Structure 1
Amino acid sequence: MTQEFTKQFINGEWIKGSSNSTIDNINPFTTKPINAIPSANEDDLNKAYQSAENAQAIWQETSPSERQGYFMNLLEVLKKEKESIIDWLVQESGSTRIKANVEYNITYNVVKEAHSFPTRMTGSILPSDTKGKENFVYRNPKGVIGVIGPWNFPLYLAMRSVAPALGAGNTVVLKPASDTPITSGLLIADLLERAGFPKGTINVVVGKGSEIGDAFITHPTPAMLSFTGSTEVGSHLAELAGKDLKDTALELGGNNAMIILDDADIDEAVNSAVFGNFLHQGEICMAVNRLIVDEKIHDKFVEKFTEKVKQLKVGDPNELETVVGPIINHSQLVRIQDDLKKTIDEGATVQTQGSVHGNVMDPVVLSDVTNDMTMAQNEIFGPVAVIIKVKDEAAAINVANDTPYGLSGSVFTGDRWRGLEVAKKVHTGMIHVNDQSVNDEPHVAFGGEKNSGLGRFGGSWALDKFTTEKWISVQAEYRQYPF
């Protein structure tokens, strides 16, 4: 790609942001600037929403096969630009090449799933208790969708809303995360432009939250807002959207438990837990946050888990074998280090702890953690594993549920049906038996309970979320009324 990504994308044009401020885009590993992007202001935001509104009526009436054609083009563009996309993810978001390939593949799959949406816009005909009446229920797009992208899986988690929204006949205004303005925003605009999507169907505004954040939500145009990020920001967004009764799709924080029961295969549980803890250095909402281990196998698990963690390659995300790369920015690193110190001071035992090099943090394993300690209570979002020893299955379930979050989780056991019964008792939107907590398939319901969000992404659930249903009744003969 030759695109420099220093401009906004509004109504099919690359234009300079109108604000006096800039977004400084920094490589988290080298800590060197990638570029500086002149920010959007409210005038740019208004133009983006107006562009999306103007385009939506035309896009909605575009035939299903024609809309699918644009998605076929997009899939071809994604194939052609795969290596460039992976390079951007490594450079901007600190993704290791392992993680960047995972992200590319699932992005491709969510676009493929959205490709089917134009022909899945089905309605229904229902009988009526009124003589001569027929009831028709039509499924329609909601209109303009505002999407706020995150920085951890920036391309996929933004595209997870953009592609289904467009597939269902909506148009989109996308505000990317300031830490990843390219991979959660401008890169998506470039890919869709290359695929030929009509002007105004996708608009991207890069701007500071302090300048356009609230206005993005309260603007009268968007019928719905989709956000992936922290619970604190999501709660603020929902409060602002609620004043105008706007619909929201919110995927928020997690404190995901991996329960390892007394009959688990320890070696398999270790392999799964290491992946779930340390993929993308733990900067995943679904990452394993607490390892809850039955006391009968606890010591052996801690020993084998720590041994495997010590073998993980740490450092430059561009090197093929690297598993743990840089934290996204220094402030996030400081937060993790502060929570780590508090947890150790509270009585946790350090099984392994290396050093910090720039934004790169060596993996940490803590045992003797109790569920009231800082890193058991908070979402870690870093390369730290906390291990909690419990007496039995019932205690494990109680500890897993002792959190305000409920996004994902897992259960490891030698008896998959026992695992299923335990999974039913854990209060979370998603949970996986004999696997770790980081799972996402574009055709399956994805979302959390409690403080982990509202609504579901994926497949028919996304189609429901990005559409509305309208009842139209038709009288074949005139009714008789009582007065």
Structure 2
Amino acid sequence: MYTDFDLMPLAGKWRHGSATAVLTDIDPYRGDVLLEIPQATVEDVDAAFIGARDAQPGWAATSAAERSAIFLRAAEIIDRRQEELVDWLTREAGTTRIRALVEIGIVRATTMAAVTHTTLGHETVPSDVPGKENRVYRRPVGVVAVISPWNFPMHLSYRSVAPALAVGNTVVLKPAEDTPVTGGLLIAKILEEAGLPAGVLSVLVGPGSVIGDAIVEHPIPRVISFTGSTRVGQRIPAKAGVKRLALELGGNGPFVVLDDADLDRAVDAAIFSNYWHQGQICMATNRVIVDARVHDEFVDRFVAAASALVTGDPREAGTQIGPIINHKQLLGVRNKVARSVDAGARLLLAGEPHGPTGRVLPPHVLLGTNDVATAAEEVFGPVATIIRADDERDALRIANDTTYGLSSAVFTEDVERGIAFALRVEAGMTHVNDTTVHDDVHVAFGGEKQSGLGRFGGDWVLEDLTTQHWVSVQHVRRPLPF
């Protein structure tokens, strides 16, 4: 078992943060104190970036084979330590076992994908100048800063950390305060055991209110990779200066059910989309938009399915809905439900929070319009709002009537109709006859509008983590204007 999680890797050494304040890591279901971590300071931020800058040339100079071998060993470690990782995700992030296994599977897949990113070549492009050879080399940018959230902590940190390291960058990672171990320290332990040299990855544990701006504003990192709320993400461009930004922000996923949809499939997918991991997913369905011709039948089936979900201890095998991550988040979810009811939404299914910490919120279902709080705002809780649409055209209008544009879905028995509808949705991702909650490490993942900038996954992630260097060779003497 890994130990000493009260220490963080800073510029090549595992040590305590320099602050006198400690971060208390708490089990969101039981309320147990998992550990206390002395927090990082602004001075620690500076030390981490200086260490990363100093380590980067040597790391970039290692061969692709050496870097690949580290990630291959990391995959073996993930397999061997699977139960240890499941235990930490369950206790720290409040995940059910099956949810933890899904996340670990994605992390492992990201590890294997990183192996394919270790070789950076060049392409030769034509020139209008006689005798000139143009080459465009892809190079690491240098130092990458990663700020990650608590909801899928390992995955949402690692999807930036792994490819950034694979191409030869060094990384400074700040995980969320609610998940410092699964969002950062476990990753550092795994990669260290796999052979990652000291100083190549630093982890800063501390509140964003103290060290967040120092990370974003620091002159050393060339890229800021941030996953989190739109509210916070909107402030990053002004603070970052001339840096590349990879931002995955909030979502308000529309799940559209057209008049010819298979309702059995649609209900199953909608239940998963709304309630998987308590709805605490950026891709979660926020609005279920149903054609009037199938609306009532869909609602009846959906409410019946939602009411059958099992809530409780995420350690229990049958639990499907566990705890909300913290009390502030729980209050925010309940406030949106209350405001929606005050605005005229009908509450079809509800329940009081329960469990040792009172954070297990049963599934909620509302009938409302696109402007009630649970539809207009990202909920991040086990709440579904069903909206009636007059027809396909109205459903598209409702789906696009949001400032967000991350994930979306449409259900129809006519695949071509579904693809045509999908291409008119203003989102980075639309899934035909499937859930809005879907990630694939090989495909471009990202949002439009206020849901972010850039793409994660596949070779698309390299656009933000590498730079292009044009080198030309003039093979024959060139006549010049003077």
User: Structure 2 length normalisation: TM-score?
Assistant: 0.98
* Aligned-partner Cα distance in 1 for 2:210–2:477: 56
Query: Which structure 1 residue ranges, 4+ long, deviate > 2 Å from structure 2?
Result: none
Aligned position for 1:41: 41
* Aligned-partner Cα distance in 1 for 2:481–2:306: 78
Deviations 1:212-237 (A, max 9, x none): 11011111110101010000111112
Aligned position for 2:318: 321
Aligned position for 1:237: 236
* Aligned-partner Cα distance in 1 for 2:417–2:343: 34
- The Cα RMSD (Å) is 0.9
Aligned position for 1:336: 333
Residues 263, 298 of structure 2: 8 Å contact kept: yes
Structure 1 residue matching 2:251: 3-state secondary structure: coil
Which of 265, 268, 272 does residue 265 from structure 2 map onto?
A: 268
Aligned position for 1:147: 146
Matching residue's letter, 2:281: I
Aligned position for 2:16: 16
Aligned position for 1:94: 94
The runs of 5 or more residues in structure 1 that have no matched partner are none
* Aligned-partner Cα distance in 2 for 1:407–1:238: 19
Aligned position for 2:215: 216
Residues 126, 136 of structure 1: 8 Å contact kept: yes
Residue 392 of structure 1 deviates from its aligned partner by 0.4
Residue 32 of structure 1 deviates from its aligned partner by 2.3
Matching residue's letter, 2:68: Q
Aligned position for 1:204: 203
User: Structure 1 length normalisation: TM-score?
Assistant: 0.98
Deviations 1:279-298 (A, max 9, x none): 00000000000000011111
Aligned position for 1:32: 32
* Aligned-partner Cα distance in 2 for 1:370–1:163: 41
Residues 223, 464 of structure 2: 8 Å contact kept: no
Residues 284, 381 of structure 1: 8 Å contact kept: yes
Residues 125, 134 of structure 2: 8 Å contact kept: yes
Residue 436 of structure 1 deviates from its aligned partner by 1.1
* Aligned-partner Cα distance in 2 for 1:415–1:208: 49
Aligned position for 1:436: 435
Deviations 1:375-407 (A, max 9, x none): 110001000010001110000000000000000
Structure 2 residue matching 1:284: 3-state secondary structure: coil
* Aligned-partner Cα distance in 2 for 1:482–1:301: 74
Q: Percent identity?
A: 49
Residue 12 of structure 1 deviates from its aligned partner by 3.4
Which of 310, 313, 322 does residue 307 from structure 2 map onto?
A: 310
Residues 133, 473 of structure 1: 8 Å contact kept: yes
| 1:421 counterpart = 2:415 | no
Residues 13, 199 of structure 2: 8 Å contact kept: no
| 1:81 counterpart = 2:81 | yes
Residue 127 of structure 1 deviates from its aligned partner by 2.1
Aligned position for 1:381: 380
Residue 210 of structure 1 deviates from its aligned partner by 2.3
Matching residue's letter, 2:468: E
Deviations 1:40-61 (A, max 9, x none): 1122112211111111101111
* Aligned-partner Cα distance in 2 for 1:127–1:401: 42
Structure 2 residue matching 1:2: 3-state secondary structure: coil
Deviations 1:179-225 (A, max 9, x none): 11111111111111111101111110111222211011111110101
Q: How does 1:324-403 map to 2 (within 5 A)?
A: 324-357=321-354, 358-367=358-367, 369-403=368-402
Q: How does 1:286-301 map to 2 (within 5 A)?
A: 286-301=283-298
Structure 2 residue matching 1:451: 3-state secondary structure: helix
Matching residue's letter, 1:189: A
Structure 2 residue matching 1:267: 3-state secondary structure: helix
Residues 23, 178 of structure 1: 8 Å contact kept: yes
Residue 132 of structure 1 deviates from its aligned partner by 2.0
Residues 114, 164 of structure 1: 8 Å contact kept: yes
Aligned position for 1:118: 118
Q: How does 1:136-175 map to 2 (within 5 A)?
A: 136-175=135-174
Residue 34 of structure 1 deviates from its aligned partner by 1.1
* Aligned-partner Cα distance in 2 for 1:197–1:32: 32
Structure 1 residue matching 2:283: 3-state secondary structure: coil
Aligned position for 1:50: 50
Deviations 1:159-181 (A, max 9, x none): 00000101111110001101111
Residue 478 of structure 1 deviates from its aligned partner by 2.6
* Aligned-partner Cα distance in 1 for 2:207–2:385: 34
Residues 12, 193 of structure 1: 8 Å contact kept: no
Aligned position for 2:464: 465
Aligned position for 1:70: 70
Matching residue's letter, 2:347: V
* Aligned-partner Cα distance in 1 for 2:8–2:101: 27
* Aligned-partner Cα distance in 2 for 1:128–1:395: 51
Which of 244, 249, 254 does residue 246 from structure 2 map onto?
A: 249
Structure 2 residue matching 1:92: 3-state secondary structure: helix
Q: How does 1:177-192 map to 2 (within 5 A)?
A: 177-192=176-191
Matching residue's letter, 2:215: F
* Aligned-partner Cα distance in 1 for 2:108–2:298: 36
* Aligned-partner Cα distance in 1 for 2:78–2:11: 22
Between stretches 249-258 and 48-57, larger displacement belongs to 48-57
Residues 55, 171 of structure 1: 8 Å contact kept: yes
* Aligned-partner Cα distance in 1 for 2:12–2:41: 18
Between stretches 315-324 and 401-410, larger displacement belongs to 315-324
Matching residue's letter, 1:309: A
Deviations 1:413-457 (A, max 9, x none): 111111111111110000100001011100100000000000000
Residue 133 of structure 1 deviates from its aligned partner by 1.4
Residues 339, 374 of structure 1: 8 Å contact kept: yes
* Aligned-partner Cα distance in 1 for 2:347–2:71: 50
Aligned position for 1:109: 109
Matching residue's letter, 1:442: V
Matching residue's letter, 1:89: L
